[in-house]
Amino acid sequence: MKQRLLSSSDVDAALAEQSLAWTRRDNELVTTVKLADFAAALAFVNSVGAAAEAANHHPDIDIRWNTVTLVLTTHDSGGLTVLDLALAAAIDLLRPLRQT
């Protein structure tokens, strides 16, 4: 089911109001998490995967040794929706307290 697209200003306001650790890049939300090592990065990706499966909404994931970059957008709708903001907030809760 297609979700209603959010305006850039709605997304920017929500990011600020919720103190989300994400940046809007055109029609995507992007965040990068730097962890202690590859094993920690894999563990974080696995926890993100579980959250994504639970939400039935999946980020693009790029892992390079200890650095994980996540990109969210609602492909079916062609931009950012509440699904992206909700998953961004859920992923922020999974971030380790201590990052490198």
CATH classification of the domain holding 86: 3.30.1360.20
Domain that holds residue 21: 8-94
Average pLDDT over residues 34-45: 97
**pLDDT-derived band of residue 26, with 50, 70 and 90 as boundaries?**
very high
2 found inside a domain:
no
Tokens of 100: 């490198």
57 found inside a domain:
yes
Instruction: Match 């307290």 to its residue by tokens.
Output: 97
Average pLDDT over residues 47-69: 97
3 found inside a domain:
no
pTM, entire model: 0.94
89 found inside a domain:
yes
pLDDT value of residue 2: 83
1 found inside a domain:
no
* Domain count within the chain: 1
State whether the Cα torsion 1-85-87-22 is positive or negative.
Answer: positive
Give the residue among 42, 47, 92 at the shortest CA–CA distance from 68: 42
56 found inside a domain:
yes
pLDDT, mean over the chain: 95
Residues 6+ apart with CB under 8 A from 68: 32, 33, 34, 35, 41, 44, 45, 48, 61, 62
